Amino acid sequence: MNLKKSKKLACTVLALAMVASSGMSVLAATEHWNDASINPQAESGAWANWKTEWETVKTDYQKVAITVGADETKLNFSWYSKTKETPKVRVALSKDMKNAVEFTGTQEETPRYISAEGKSVETAEEGEAYYASKVSTEGVTENTTYYYQYFQNGEWSEAIEFTTQDFDSYKALLFGDPQIGACKGQTSSENDEMADYLAARNDAFNWNITLETALAANPDTNFLMTAGDQVNSSSNEYEYAGFLNPDAMQSYALSTAIGNHDSSNSNYSDHYNNPNSGVATEGMTQAGTDYYYTYGNTLFIILDTNNYNCATHEAVMKQAVEENPDVQWRVVMFHQDIYGSGKDHSDSDGIVLRTQLTPLMDKYNIDVVLQGHDHTYSRTYQLSSTGTEDNSTCYTINGKVASGTVIDPEGTVYLETNSSTGSKFYDLIVNQQDYVAERSQTWTPSYSVLSVDENSFTIATYDVTTGELLSDSSVYTIVKSADKTDLNAAIEEAKKLVKDDYTSESWTAFAGALAAAEAVAADDTAPESEVAQAVADLAKAKAELVLAEETPAPTEKPDATEKPEATEKPDATEKPDATQKPEATTAPNATEKPSENPTTGSNSPLFYGVLAVLSGLGLAGVIYTEKKKSRVR
């Protein structure tokens, strides 16, 4: 037996022993949860309105979900339809859907049935039939506003706005365990015991506030990610209805992981349209399997860690990496935390996967791993898979940079997300693990921002209730290497930001980093390490900028009768649009009905390319003017 093998065995035995000692028990959630009836961020009357609204929302199982496509130019759609029909999506540059491009997809032959109580059932006698419908589209370009419609029950939906951002420098918002319905069993300030549908009502309200808050603070968001447990009960369609209800969910693409609460039913795979899924399926759950996609310069690989067959995960990682050799960053997301710090899972079920997955992260040079499951926040040091001398662990801690910047680091950093809705929180484990660089349990919802550009990958985590960096968390930036060209490009980008858009305190720090970066750029003798450090410091300072007060207040939501504010860019951060035309020109009539006869059958990227050129000629500017006008309600 060689040394490596014996280490692995030792790790596995240890892991199994620890699981056995924990009895695989599922510990109860804490008493801490986010009671929507007293949510301080809700606008006066919003909760009362929502309770009324919920009575229709909860049985609307036909909400569309936009899933990330195979790359940033593609968007995948899925929805349930009551009618057997060919699913279609059409996309245009104006709300009247003129010159729309139409895409057709596929619908499941066999319907699913949903009972009047929102439960998945087996037969037509028990519930109503719905057909899972999926369409993939392609050809979207960056920094463009589109409108899309989906064909459902024999008619086109209303035209829904979708705006793209920069592709090469992008931002993704990461949410942990929304788990709509997980507050089940709690009692609200109104003395309501959270039974099934009341729990979903509570958590869906808070989910909307989290999305609105996060998007108001990050109007340049490209797409959304959730690290599993979108719902609490995989067969409960009320919870899917609540999760997909926020307007933001119809205007941003989403990438989800399969959580343990999502995994025991096919509802997950029918609600989402994941790209590059099905490469390897051995051991797959009823919900689905691993998938991957690229976005800008990053490869994202999403694993279903309910499946303990790591040969399946490796097969997917191998193919994804081989197909995309030129990406700058590799990110893996899965639900079950293998390096977290929660009391309920981090020293039990996570360890079983840890022994097998950590070497894969090394083998495929994964930079960042995103995790959920433990409803606490933590971030690790950079970790590698080689064991320590006494074989007591299965990882090595590379350096001990707790916060700040790391240049060309060894190994992988693991982020553990707390609950984004507060439907359930867990305690931190008493003895903090040595791999944990920072951790917190604030009993408040939070989300993370991934800001990625050519040379830097930055992670920052925010408290939804304060809008500030989460307590005991810090901004973390990775730079692999950077030369003077990279530094100058980063400086140019930084100079585009406008002082008045940000708080003076955060701007002062940013201006200092910018001046320091310029000094390094001007220094002909600056070594490469110093150049890379300047790029990292500038990226970190950029991520730490705080939007000034003019940003739309999140408390304006949620009112389900209103259109989303947060999906629109606040004025303060709008990019100057050189092509924007005066409003008096040809702004389309916002009340105009979408054309019933769009251009069809032209799914070619070339056609979309023509749309993109039109956009460049000023059409997008016209649309944008119309959008600004319609915001005032």
Return the beta strands (E) in 350-506 as ranges.
368-372, 377-380, 382-384, 396-398, 404-407, 413-416, 436-440, 446-452, 456-463, 476-479
Stretch that binds Fe ion, among 204-212, 227-235, 450-458, 536-544 (CB under 5 A): 227-235
Whole-number minimum distance, CB 5 to Fe ion, in Å? 34
Residue least distant from Fe ion (Cβ):
229
Count of residues engaged in binding Fe ion, rule: CB under 5 A: 3
- Pick 340 or 570: Cβ nearer Fe ion: 340
Q: Give the Cα-Cα-Cα angle 414, 418, 423 (nearest 5 degrees).
A: 155
Stretch that binds Fe ion, among 134-142, 164-172, 177-185, 500-508 (CB under 5 A): 177-185
In the DSSP assignment, the letter for residue 263 is: T
- Pick 229 or 304: Cβ nearer Fe ion: 229
Stretch that binds Fe ion, among 23-31, 169-177, 306-314, 385-393 (CB under 5 A): 169-177
Whole-number minimum distance, CB 285 to Fe ion, in Å? 15
- 229 is a contact residue toward Fe ion (CB under 5 A): yes
Stretch that binds Fe ion, among 136-144, 225-233, 356-364, 619-627 (CB under 5 A): 225-233
Q: Is the separation of the CB atoms in 501 and 573 below 8 Å?
A: yes
Whole-number minimum distance, CB 344 to Fe ion, in Å? 9
Whole-number minimum distance, CB 375 to Fe ion, in Å? 6
Alpha-carbon separation of residue 553 from 40, 466, 570 (angstroms): 13, 12, 10
Return the beta strands (E) in 213-282 as ranges.
223-226, 253-256
- 416 is a contact residue toward Fe ion (CB under 5 A): no
- Pick 161 or 177: Cβ nearer Fe ion: 177
Radius of gyration of the chain (CA): 24
Q: Is 453 helix (H, G, I), strand (E, B) or coil?
A: coil
Which residues make Cβ contacts (< 8 Å) with residue 315, sequence separation at least 6?
A: 279, 280
Residue among 177, 237, 239, 438 that touches Fe ion (CB under 5 A) = 177
Q: Is 487 helix (H, G, I), strand (E, B) or coil?
A: helix
Whole-number minimum distance, CB 417 to Fe ion, in Å? 10
Q: State both tokens at 259.
A: 């959580």
Alpha-carbon separation of residue 428 from 23, 176, 431, 436, 457 (angstroms): 19, 16, 9, 12, 27
Binding mask 179-198 for Fe ion (x = CB under 5 A): x-------------------
Residue 166 one-letter amino acid: D
Q: Is the separation of the CB atoms in 364 and 330 below 8 Å?
A: yes
Return the bridge partners of 129, or none.
Answer: 113
Binding mask 569-608 for Fe ion (x = CB under 5 A): ----------------------------------------
Whole-number minimum distance, CB 350 to Fe ion, in Å? 13
Stretch that binds Fe ion, among 175-183, 296-304, 454-462, 488-496 (CB under 5 A): 175-183
Euclidean distance between CA atoms 593 and 420, whole angstroms: 37
Euclidean distance between CA atoms 356 and 326, whole angstroms: 26
- Pick 177 or 501: Cβ nearer Fe ion: 177
Whole-number minimum distance, CB 176 to Fe ion, in Å? 8
Whole-number minimum distance, CB 204 to Fe ion, in Å? 16
| Interacting residue ranges for Fe ion, rule: CB under 5 A | 177, 179, 229
